[in-house]
Amino acid sequence: MLNYDSIRHVKGESIFLDDYNAPSGTLHGAVFFSPVAHGKIKNIDISDALKIPGVKGIYTCKDIPGVNQIGGIIQDEVLLAEDEVEFIGEPIALVVAETQLIARNAVGKIKFEITKLDVITNPKIAFEKGHLIIPKARIYSCGSTENTWKNCDYVFEGTVESGGQEHLYLETQASLAMPVEGGCFKIISSTQNPTGVQRTVSKVLNIADNKVECEAMRLGGGFGGKEDQATAWAVLAALGSYKLGKPVKIVLSRQEDMKATGKRHPYISDYKIGLTKDGKILSYEVAFYQNAGAAADLSPAILDRTLAHATGSYFIPNVKAAGYCCKTNLPPNTAFRGFGGPQGMFVLETAIYKAAAAMNMPPYEIQEKNLLKEGEEFPYGQKTEFCKAVNCWRSAKEKFNLDSIRDETANFNKSNFLFKKGFALMPICFGISFTNTMLNQASSLVHVYADGSVSVSTGAVEMGQGVNMKIRQVASRIFGIGLDKIKSETTNTTRNANTSATAASSGADMNGNATRLACLEIFKRLKDFYIKKNNPAADSEFALNDGYVWINKSKTNFSFEKLVIDAYKNRIDLSAHGFYATPKIFFNPETNKGNPFAYHVYGTAIIVVNVDCLRGTYKIESVHAVHDFGDSINPAIDRSQAEGALMQGIGWMTMEEIIFNSDGKLLTDTLSTYKVPDMGFTPEKIEIEFLENKDKNAGVFNSKAIGEPPFMYGIAAFFALVNAIKEFNPKAGFDISSPLTPEKVLMNLYAK
């Protein structure tokens, strides 16, 4: 089934923020960013910049009418720097001018004097100095690790570093703010969180929420990078509009976006793992040192998800996972597909790999022996229900013939000296729901018009993931009409208030269920009206299908359009508001126990790589996966999302390297220095099989979330490369640090 948004994208007809026909007289904003990572502001001189023809205003923190604060979880992030700057790219002043070029030229004329202070970029150093976002550790635990080490035949310890990742959405951060009558403002923002923008604008401008309307048309990608970090640019545009009474537009250049916005959190993690001689994991301890950057942003919630996924797809009876949210002088790091889960899983996979090497057994044997089973408990207290970890693993082994892959890899390596192959398996288990229980709510407004066409407005933001299509399919299924009769509206805070961000892979689940409830309410009204008017037999079965009313599975001559117009003439309400709150979830942040996830998504991937041992370059030959999609609403969308997440995960593990120097300056701030997977890097073969699974779960119509879980399959690429390196140089010993770039591969191929 084709995604209508995709068709418009291909034709070039999709409207993104910078394509929007802004009102005449729209002004343009540019930001003066801090050029140093940490320092005291001694003086800012804007006099020369103000003299430039076309400059309409320059604003600093002193010009903010409300609160100079955009922090979410913790109120620790100012909109415009006050006395101190804490990262390169921190906004200090907003320039508003007639054109974008004039505004940017004026930024270059601003003079500044900043006294530099010490810069910290390493989270462990921040921890040692007591620079923490949260003053104490977050700890998830079960059993007793301290009392279990003596029962282990093997105990291994180590350190793992996982790098950051640039979101690199096609559409950079952008916003347009317009004053409207009554002291109100309309904000069009490239945001995953329109309500977050609305609330922050109202706070900074010191006006009520109902005076701020925020709309998101569609995004040119988000991946989490526009969940919280789109807000600053929307608020800055609103500040300029408030001061000048004119529309103001801000669109960051690619280099500005990369410099000023946060990334996936880098982590440094210490682990200790204990096993029996046959490979059963008895005990696991891990300490995560999260590089939060200069402010909290969403780091505390991301750390919670890291801790919740510290044991991955495995049951471990004794666990102690501690997390430290460390404050550094980098841009505040933020949400990214997987939301901390990949960083947690990577550490345990490293521990298993190290144990397997020392115990002289394949890692996949340890993986298989410890997979989660039905009714087993996670360290946060929730028990597995409809657990598919073993099903996916066995299915992947059988469907893709793991024995054959193993033998082919071994034969290739025996026959080749300068090229070596490696393979690895990666099982996943990912919890679906916001870790903050409050956010697990959504609403939908459905109108059936008198001609039988339907309009659906939800809190879900379309950013290329196909959520609009899925929601339209929900309405189509309930009303029994074609998709061509159903329109998805833009996401707008005046139609759906108090929305949660489109994130946590929950957009289709929650907003789809809200739409289902709204449609069912209208369906019931139409059914009651028809039965009252036509008086069929008391036990008659009423249905809507193929555009007609069906009674007792027989098609009548009563079309959907006729039913609707008759209902309208009889004053039947054809609009409904549906509200959905994910059931049966709760979590106690004091004990770190509860039932935080509506359900879990499972899967297993096998990745094969081929390394050029002369150059250090490599290619991903194949990816074979069995994935738990549930009862998919739209297999085409789900498969493409799985493939996209997979490639992003492989990129994080292999080539996407973010480098800051010791002064906190981002060195990989252009696409000539920051590399992402392209068509040439795509695996020659990608096979993703749908696990047969129609179990009841909290996804709409028993479907399952797809956005984030397949990302973790990319971890297998890392260990497949390590295995290939070991085939060439069995004595190669190196620290586990991602990403494993070609440069690192080359160095390790010849390491002693």
The two structure tokens encoding residue 312: 């991955």
Calpha distance 427→626 (Å, rounded): 10
pLDDT of residue 574: 98
Is 454 buried (19+), middle (13-18) or exposed (0-12) by CB count in 10 A? Answer: buried
- Strand bridging mode 548-551 / 318-327: unpaired
Is 507 found in the same domain as 523? yes
CATH number at residue 56: 3.90.1170.50
The string of pLDDT tens digits covering residues 183-242 is 999 999 999 999 999 999 999 999 999 999 999 999 999 999 999 999 999 999 999 999
CA atoms within 13 A on the CB side of 18: 12
154 belongs to a structural domain: no
Mean pLDDT of the chain: 97
Question: Is residue 124 situated within a structural domain?
Answer: no
What is the CATH number for 477?
3.30.365.10
Split at pLDDT 50, 70, 90, the class of 130 is very high
Continuous segment of H or E residues that includes residue 177: strand 174-180
Distance (Å, whole) CA 144 – CA 285: 10
Mean pLDDT value across residues 26-39:
98
Per the structure, how many domains does the chain have? 3
Residues 503 and 636 in one domain: no
Same domain membership, residue 372 and residue 288: yes
Average pLDDT over residues 697-724: 96
Instruction: Judge whether residue 549 has pLDDT over 70.
Output: yes
Which residues pair with residue 618 across a beta bridge?
611
3-state secondary structure 423-475: EEEEEEEEEECCCCHHHCEEEEEEEECCCCCEEEEECCCCCCCCHHHHHHHHH
In a domain, 122, yes or no: no
Output b/e per residue, 349-363; b: 16+ Cβ within 10 A.
Answer: bbbbbbbbeebeebb
Is residue 574 within 8 Å of residue 524, measured between CB atoms?
A: no
Q: What is the pLDDT of residue 6?
A: 81
pLDDT at 25 over 50: yes
User: What do you get for the CA distance between the two ends of the chain, in Å?
Assistant: 54
SS3 491: strand
365 plus 293 within the same structural domain: yes
Only one residue has tokens 């696990």, namely 691
Per-residue pLDDT tens digits for 315-374: 999 999 999 999 999 999 999 999 999 999 999 999 999 999 999 999 999 999 999 999
Among the candidates 581, 607, 634, a domain finishes at 581
- In terms of domains, do 430 and 452 share one? no
Domain that holds residue 526: 441-581
pLDDT one-digit tens code per residue, 607-658: 999 999 999 999 999 999 999 999 999 999 999 999 999 999 999 999 999 9
Please tell me whether residues 348 and 465 are part of one structural domain: no
The predicted model gives 561-579 an average pLDDT of 98
Q: What is the DSSP letter of 48?
A: H
Do the domain assignments include residue 196?
yes
47 within a domain of the structure (yes/no): yes
* Span 49-97, pLDDT tens digits: 999 999 999 999 999 999 999 999 999 999 999 999 999 999 999 999 9
Phi, psi of 189 (to 5 degrees): -135, 145
Task: Convert 85-104 to b/e letters by CB count within 10 Å (16 or more is b).
Answer: bbbbbbbbbbbbbeebebbb
Q: Is residue 138 part of a domain?
A: no
Q: Of 556, 581, 606, which residue constitutes the final position of a domain?
A: 581
In this predicted structure, the answer to whether residue 1 has a pLDDT above a threshold of 50 is no
**pLDDT at residue number 739:** 98
| Residue 687 designated active-site | no
| The residue to which tokens 């952008």 are assigned | 174
- Does residue 680 register a pLDDT over 50? yes
- Nearest-CA neighbor of 247 among 320, 168, 179, 171? 179
274 and 202 housed in the same domain: no
Instruction: Identify the helix (H) or strand (E) that includes residue 269.
Output: strand 267-275
How many angstroms separate the Cα of 743 from the Cα of each of 268, 420, 468, 612, 750?
21, 16, 42, 12, 12
Residues 371 and 458 in one domain: no
In the block, which residue shows the tokens 């700057």?
Answer: 85
Confidence of residue 3 (pLDDT cuts 50, 70, 90): low
Nearest to 60 by CA among 77, 38, 89, 80: 80
Mean pLDDT of 94-120: 98
**SS3 of residue 249 by DSSP:** strand
Same domain, 489 and 552: yes
| Shared-domain flag, residues 524 and 561 | yes
C-alpha to C-alpha distance for 288 and 318, rounded to whole angstroms: 17
Listed residue (357, 307, 462) closest to 733, CA to CA: 357
Asked if residue 363 has a cis previous peptide bond (ω within 30° of 0), the answer is no
DSSP 541: P
pTM of the model: 0.97
597 within some domain:
yes
**Domain boundary residue, one of 260, 280, 309:** 260
Residue-wise pLDDT for 136-159, tens only, equals 999 999 999 999 999 999 999 999
- Specify if 126 maps to a domain: no
Pairing of strands 441-448, 575-581: antiparallel
Phi-psi label, residue 521: left if phi above 0, alpha if psi -120 to 50, beta otherwise = alpha
Q: Are residues 641 and 669 in the same domain?
A: yes
549 and 417: one domain? no
Which is the catalytic residue, given 161, 213, 708, 727? 708
Q: What is the pLDDT of residues 645-662, one digit of tens each?
A: 999 999 999 999 999 999
Report the 3 state secondary structure along 286-349: EEEEEEEECCCCCHHHHHHHHHHCCCCCECCCEEEEEEEEEECCCCCCCCCCCCCHHHHHHHHH
**Distance of alpha carbon 574 from alpha carbon 452, whole angstroms:** 10
3-state helix, strand, coil in the chain (%, to 5): 30, 25, 40
Q: Which pLDDT tens digit goes with each residue over 240-284?
A: 999 999 999 999 999 999 999 999 999 999 999 999 999 999 999
3-state secondary structure 205-247: HCCCHHHEEEEECCCCCCCCCCCCCCHHHHHHHHHHHHHHCCC
- Judge contact between 476 and 407, C-beta under 8 A: no
Q: How far apart are CA 337 and CA 504, in angstroms?
A: 8
Confidence at residue 537, expressed as pLDDT on a 0 to 100 scale: 83
